[in-house]
Amino acid sequence: MIKTNDMNNSNNSPTVLVAGATGFLGSEICRQLIAKNKNVKGLVRITSDSNKVAQLKELGVETINGDLKNKDSLKNSLRGVSAIISTVSSTLSRQDGDTIQTVDDEGQINLINAAIDAGVNKFIYVSFCEMPGQSPLQSAKRKAEKHLAESGLNYTILQPTFFMEVWLSPALGFDYPNAKANIYGEGKNKVSWIAIKDVASFAVASLDNPAAKNTVIELGGPEALSPLEVVNIFEIAKEQKFELQFVPEEAITAQRDGAQDPLSESFAALTLGVVKGSEIDMKNTLDDFPIHLTSVNDYARR
């Protein structure tokens, strides 16, 4: 019986480096790449969660140490790599020295520059869609996007809207296990909520799809739904009425304006993005990428 590691090391497909491999999105991208029999390297840090690193290795991912904040570490990481998929962001990291400035801005640019020096053929960058107003995180993402587009690399920039597993979760006030939900603003503006696994599918498909070459692709789910419509879907799925707590837009704006650090300011700005709504028309994109999108109803019943 051929083990996954043996199979991956013996095939002749190009090697893909996934930066941010231990994250929710990065690990799903690794899983899908392995399922397609790709050679996969996962960029991890010495301080990365050992359980997550072990899970990557079990999948068949070759893990390699590197840090976007350390330019020299990236040179070794990119040896033999033909394509990069970067999902790295400081928003979920609490490690020393990780900030929007050092990771999402300077770190991402370090990785792009290292890719140029290493002769990488393809660079796929998972950013996020345009949000109203400015924030440190959005500024960093747009700066990295611009640098990549002007780099001379064959690039794809993916701009997903709000992840349903993140924004429709207890961690951010959508406490579906207990039938409670925070509603930001009036909850009437529509969002094209997207599943993490679907974003991963677009990233993987962008490696070989000619429609992905040197372009920016906005990503959303199969339908745009307001937070109140989402609540209704969950109420039907759970057969239980939800208790709602409304958070006024003015309170979120005050939180953003009074933030003491760039991450808090950026999170409040993202929350205002939910308030304002974020609709993405996926018709033309799905013509080029025939991916079956996960609906909020699928997510609620799962």
* Among the ranges given (38-47, 138-147, 279-288), the one the predictor scored with the smallest mean pLDDT: 38-47
- What does the pLDDT read at residue 8? 41
- Locus of tokens 């692709």: 217
Is 239 inside any structural domain?
A: no
Is 34 inside any structural domain?
A: yes
Is 111 inside any structural domain?
A: yes
- What does the pLDDT read at residue 296? 98
Does pLDDT of 95 surpass 70?
Answer: no
Is 147 inside any structural domain?
A: yes
Residue 225 sits at the vertex; the CA angle it makes with 222 and 226, to the nearest 5 degrees, is: 160
Does pLDDT of 107 surpass 80?
Answer: yes
CATH number at residue 49: 3.40.50.720
- Structural domain of 48: 4-161+196-220+279-293
- What does the pLDDT read at residue 4? 37
- pLDDT tens-digit series, residues 195-225: 999 999 999 999 999 999 999 999 999 999 9
Q: What are the tokens at 282?
A: 């996926």
Is 48 inside any structural domain?
A: yes
Domain count, the chain: 1
Query: Cβ contacts of residue 300 below 8 Å, gap of 6+?
Result: 176, 233, 234, 237, 238
Among candidates 148, 66, 76, which has minimal Cα distance to 113? Answer: 148
Q: What is the mean pLDDT of residues 227-245?
A: 97
Is 83 inside any structural domain?
A: yes
Does pLDDT of 240 surpass 60?
Answer: yes
Among candidates 40, 30, 21, 125, which has minimal Cα distance to 80? Answer: 40
Q: Mean pLDDT over all residues of the chain?
A: 93
Q: What are the tokens at 267?
A: 């999170």
- What does the pLDDT read at residue 11? 52
Does pLDDT of 106 surpass 70?
Answer: yes
Is 228 inside any structural domain?
A: no
Is 78 inside any structural domain?
A: yes
